[in-house]
Structure 1
């Protein structure tokens, strides 16, 4: 089938705009018309201008210049990862557009894909017809369905333009919040001893607030002893078993436990035995976030690695589109199940045996896998195209295998467990108490046979919550009939300790961001986060496409640290706790995760507009509100005081170039004299640790002001210090301690003693001691790692701002 057969024929040439050459090659085999032109972007071809490139006065970091606001973010030609300019690609696309009557955007089906194409078309001034081809997968069947849908949607271009404007508005807010928030908070609130910027962002900051709130609950948690009571008994038939009293409302007083134990020890009476089959349905299919969580737990992959591998499998046509929030499939795809299962079975023989036993089980509705509207993109599933043996790299095949088995499990029968509960009511002075034990035996494995012994029982555990108290259970129980008489043979008290909430792990963080509703206790907040249209996808932070980029930013800012292990737990550092406390004190809205989720929901309405005019009106309104919020942020920050933080709590790596080695004798002498003069104790390790000595001097002798207003006291640069030391040694001078820590003192020393030193080879070339301009600020959320900040000095301030 050719492209012309799949869409209504039109006069003139049609240009297909792809995101990657690999996708373009997948579709080119469908094109037979000479009037079809194909181009690919290979990602974003344009990049936002830096503030200093827009206006020179915005390059230095001065609070008086804030807020820095532009109506539209200027863009320029970007570069590839290898540093090659995209100018040639832009020129080629511009040339290809000449004589074209229609553009069909065939980039990845999401806001980011829409933006990649539309920003180029807007930049080149294209004003012709635009349609949107949404490729949920790159196998032949999915491609044909995408063309059929294109033919049925004459307004696909207008709807996609709305998605582009939503992405543009997200970039607009990211740019302005990262730029203004980072500068304002760094200049006004950041502790003097902290060298790097205090990076701020609309999604990053409330995400940190979730982790900080959990950190506070963990740190303030006080363990409590509680008690369980065991009743050992024997039935009239001679069967022995143990029942437990372990109520949800725990027993915290030993005296109460002893009263119950004494009553249980004297108990005799009939047992209540309930036997029934318990059906266990297969788990939901994978969204991007839940797939990341499973891969972190099973393979130890970080979410970004999982996302890269899933994207590669999509590009090769083995998986459906991976950047999805949904865990469901559209009802119209139920008919594909048999063919997909057969294809998967050709690669996984053990699965083929299970799926060949009967027709696929199709579960519909909110509790099933097929729904009427799964959202913009459905769950991640395998396709008819399957990898040949040895075709994929090991990690790619492991990921495909995981998704394929989940799909197969979703179409197999329920598992059935034979569940037996034996219970006894014991009369005590504190009232009747229930003792029980549960035995569970797998009667029918059902879908669990796909996983064998790897079937995981705790995949749905809520991150950040204490482990639930399980019911007393045994692998199997002896034969016991309902109403059988039994007598106690003894009773014991078992001690246990309450556990704090579990830390959220690296792999769980995207799930936490997407399911914020699980982290809040307030009923009103839970109601606000509900999504009536799709209850399985409540309001959350960020988008599925970008949630995995937040943790690296928090790590880079030293707001969090990771423990060891396959899926490491996240701990909020003292720097992170101080930062989020300052944000909440100065501008609480940016430290409120629920409020941010509601704001995200409003932002998503831009992408739901049905006409260009409606989308533009919503986008203009959003930009106005963003500027108003910026004004409020800057005004509130201007009135705030800097945060006081013990320098010893700042990690050495937060001050690049200053963490290793010992301080110089002059620094130690200056620190000792400074401590005596100010009447403060010299911190432990100050004489042996360069970082701690520097932090003490910064806190008590004046900050180096890595990013600060003109006139702020600062320390000399490394070059100035080196020159001053050589000069003192050569001329037999004493180098005063303040020269080591104060820029002005060092400059005065050089001015007084460097005359004629320019020709003295033993001293070296004279240096310039004037302060230079601060660097341009990178405020865009690009997801690329920023360059390592330079050592903070009068010469440069470190770059840094992120969403």
Structure 2
């Protein structure tokens, strides 16, 4: 019995099977889902801190449901029936932990104890399928090794289940401030990912711009050629006096030019991993990483691309011989590339970590096209664009380097502070090489490190005048130009998976960098999560209102006050869960389960991991139990439902209050009535006690002092007097404000006291609190 992950993959192989004794089944994803705690024990259903920690030796499972809500029970029954007549099972799900788990969890649930082989299909074209069968035949213990991968995935699920369940309940019950209505969701990978974003958000918010200075030197040669050179040292000049000293010396300079001419080779970029492909598609097409992953999976299922859920950017040395055939297939579709690509015997094959082919690229190699190519109008537009992007990357990888002729003109100026170098560089394309495949887009594909400030580039010009080394020249003038330091860039939606996978690029501490290195595969350092799950983190963080997306083609991720408050609570109670580097180290240890040499060793490592998880959960609950509710600033934004702007009267009062008390308005107050209401509740004057005679409607109640003061100020601005009863009657004061406050719509006649108007929200200045107590804004 062959066990596939999807019917599409099953159909690709069924056409090759000739034996009538072969049975095929397809799972269509995970058929089992974890039971809710309340179905295991009734007292675990309500959220009560005294029932924590909730710990299970194994997660109970049941038949899950598909996206349409239909139960997977019939499919499980069909697989059970197929197993009854089988003497061997071949797992042919997608390669990787997730694919292994899809099959193994069903086989174990159904009690299969027969022999199992693992067929790893890196691609679904005929040649790749035959190679996969040959590899399986050479590995008699392929099933045992795959069981280790399954146990690693199972342990990840075990930790996610227990940490998410216990952490979310504990933190929400004990640490979450009352103003927050929704749960504070917690996760082993999700929370450290938030920490990366929150630390960057803090650096951006705390960033104070500083002026720095560049010195420009205009020179003219004896032959009349004019040039502008710049002194912009790596260690920026922040002292205006230093800049002026350098400028004055430069203005008196005369001497000879140093001209350096050299060819600069530009090799093609690396091939795509899942994360780098998502980043490129986000940058070029504005696609969400999950959309890119879905398209790549569909192209894999159709047999046009290799397996897409990979962390590698390299191919194995064994596939060097395939390059010519794949290139020929690709250019049969991309006809514009045919004249640009070298002949089959002249293709460039680069080996080593700086090239494209290595001895061991990891569990799965880079994403590349196959001999099978789409023809005609067989693909939807987005699928076609993605295939072409990957195909051009493969072509570029087998083309010659680009060569730029680069000329640098420099002079050395003696100053009272020592010699200072002034320079300018000009560069022209001498040999386009692989860049011919991309045309004008070639240079646009350079990717900066996410989360870092923009680098200062050397002064460059498109074309330099004809000057020679040693030509005499003198200064024609000098100037000081002022620039401003820039904060780090926010990480974008498309960059987040790359950041999680290459955490090493985000840390500056040398010890942390060394800890994140992977000596076995330097191109794949330790990171957070797996290639298959990284693009699911952002939707989870957004669902919890920890982050929000800004506008743009590839929008930047901004951490909200909720996210900052939640992370502060986690780090105060259990700092290890807010440490991305520590989590990456932990993930590397978890990966050792999947690399166990035998099934017995994998079982031993998995059980040790589960014990450790149970201990960590107990420590987390103990730490939360001894901690107090977090004190959150009024700018923290509650996450209960969509926000709406405060009313003009409410906002005007908040501004006046801040000016009078010398306070800073919280971030987001002008656009969110909840933040404004929290600020007013903390800093506004308390309402006066209602006279005894006013209780129960026996008489009018007066407005609050702040409400009356706002009405009097408004009257002065309008050049009129307040009505006589405004100072004594809250309702009269409210009517005056509703009628005259800027931007406030007229209010309908109030319903009799004690009778609500169904379906009519209250509006206007007096309803600024937006709820049951209209006077709360004042």
Are positions 1:566 and 2:563 aligned together?
Answer: no
Contact 2:88 2:116 in 1 (8 A): yes
Measure how far apart 1:357 and its partner are: 4.6
Matches within 5 A, 1:175-214: 175-214=161-200
- Offset from partner CA, 1:75-110 (integer Å, 9 cap, x none): 001111111111111111011011311100000001
Three-state SS of the structure 1 residue aligned to 2:338 is helix
In structure 2, do the counterparts of structure 1 residues 451 and 458 end up closer, same or farther at CA, with 3 Å as the change threshold?
A: closer
Are positions 1:542 and 2:551 aligned together?
Answer: no
Instruction: Specify the alignment match of 2:29 in structure 1.
Output: 43
Measure how far apart 1:220 and its partner are: 1.1
Measure how far apart 1:456 and its partner are: 3.1
Match of 1:280 among 254, 263, 266: 266
Moved more, 481-490 or 504-513: 481-490
Measure how far apart 1:72 and its partner are: 0.3
Three-state SS of the structure 2 residue aligned to 1:494 is strand
Match of 1:289 among 266, 269, 275: 275
Are positions 1:655 and 2:620 aligned together?
Answer: no
Contact 1:229 1:246 in 2 (8 A): yes
Alpha-carbon distance in structure 1 between the residues aligned to 2:635 and 2:523: 45
Are positions 1:173 and 2:159 aligned together?
Answer: yes
Contact 1:296 1:303 in 2 (8 A): yes
Alpha-carbon distance in structure 2 between the residues aligned to 1:661 and 1:498: 33
Instruction: Specify the alignment match of 2:495 in structure 1.
Output: 508
Alpha-carbon distance in structure 2 between the residues aligned to 1:694 and 1:307: 42
Contact 2:637 2:675 in 1 (8 A): no
Contact 1:192 1:698 in 2 (8 A): no
Contact 1:132 1:157 in 2 (8 A): yes
Are positions 1:408 and 2:418 aligned together?
Answer: no
Match of 1:444 among 416, 427, 431: 431
Alpha-carbon distance in structure 2 between the residues aligned to 1:603 and 1:316: 33
Are positions 1:598 and 2:564 aligned together?
Answer: no
RMSD of aligned alpha carbons: 2.9
Measure how far apart 1:388 and its partner are: 0.8
Instruction: Specify the alignment match of 2:508 in structure 1.
Output: 521
Instruction: Specify the alignment match of 2:608 in structure 1.
Output: 621
Three-state SS of the structure 2 residue aligned to 1:493 is strand
Alpha-carbon distance in structure 1 between the residues aligned to 2:215 and 2:646: 59
Q: Which has the higher contact order (CA 8 A, sep 6+)?
A: 1
Instruction: Specify the alignment match of 1:254 in structure 2.
Output: 240
Are positions 1:309 and 2:295 aligned together?
Answer: yes
Instruction: Specify the alignment match of 1:725 in structure 2.
Output: none
Moved more, 164-173 or 381-390: 381-390
Instruction: Specify the alignment match of 1:721 in structure 2.
Output: none
Contact 2:637 2:674 in 1 (8 A): no
Alpha-carbon distance in structure 2 between the residues aligned to 1:195 and 1:538: 39
Contact 2:565 2:636 in 1 (8 A): no
Alpha-carbon distance in structure 2 between the residues aligned to 1:147 and 1:254: 71
Alpha-carbon distance in structure 2 between the residues aligned to 1:92 and 1:591: 45
Match of 1:238 among 224, 228, 231: 224
Instruction: Specify the alignment match of 1:378 in structure 2.
Output: 365
Alpha-carbon distance in structure 1 between the residues aligned to 2:543 and 2:231: 49
Alpha-carbon distance in structure 2 between the residues aligned to 1:559 and 1:227: 38
Could you tell me which runs of 5 or more consecutive residues in structure 2 were left unpaired when the two chains were aligned.
651-656, 658-662, 684-695, 702-753, 757-778
Instruction: Specify the alignment match of 1:366 in structure 2.
Output: 353
Could you tell me which runs of 5 or more consecutive residues in structure 1 were left unpaired when the two chains were aligned.
1-14, 669-674, 676-680, 701-730, 737-761, 765-803
Instruction: Specify the alignment match of 1:609 in structure 2.
Output: 596
Contact 2:256 2:470 in 1 (8 A): yes
Are positions 1:391 and 2:378 aligned together?
Answer: yes
Measure how far apart 1:593 and its partner are: 0.3
Measure how far apart 1:649 and its partner are: 3.0
In structure 2, do the counterparts of structure 1 residues 598 and 583 end up closer, same or farther at CA, with 3 Å as the change threshold?
A: same
Three-state SS of the structure 2 residue aligned to 1:250 is coil
Alpha-carbon distance in structure 2 between the residues aligned to 1:133 and 1:687: 59
In structure 2, do the counterparts of structure 1 residues 412 and 115 end up closer, same or farther at CA, with 3 Å as the change threshold?
A: same
Three-state SS of the structure 2 residue aligned to 1:564 is coil
In structure 2, do the counterparts of structure 1 residues 200 and 687 end up closer, same or farther at CA, with 3 Å as the change threshold?
A: closer
Match of 2:286 among 289, 295, 300: 300
- Offset from partner CA, 1:24-75 (integer Å, 9 cap, x none): 0000011000111100001111100000011111000000000000000000
In structure 2, do the counterparts of structure 1 residues 502 and 690 end up closer, same or farther at CA, with 3 Å as the change threshold?
A: closer
Are positions 1:141 and 2:146 aligned together?
Answer: no
In structure 2, do the counterparts of structure 1 residues 429 and 458 end up closer, same or farther at CA, with 3 Å as the change threshold?
A: farther
- Offset from partner CA, 1:267-288 (integer Å, 9 cap, x none): 1111111111110000000000
Are positions 1:556 and 2:543 aligned together?
Answer: yes
Contact 2:425 2:458 in 1 (8 A): yes
Alpha-carbon distance in structure 2 between the residues aligned to 1:442 and 1:251: 33
Alpha-carbon distance in structure 2 between the residues aligned to 1:257 and 1:694: 50
Match of 2:144 among 150, 158, 183: 158
How many aligned positions are there?
682
In structure 2, do the counterparts of structure 1 residues 696 and 241 end up closer, same or farther at CA, with 3 Å as the change threshold?
A: closer
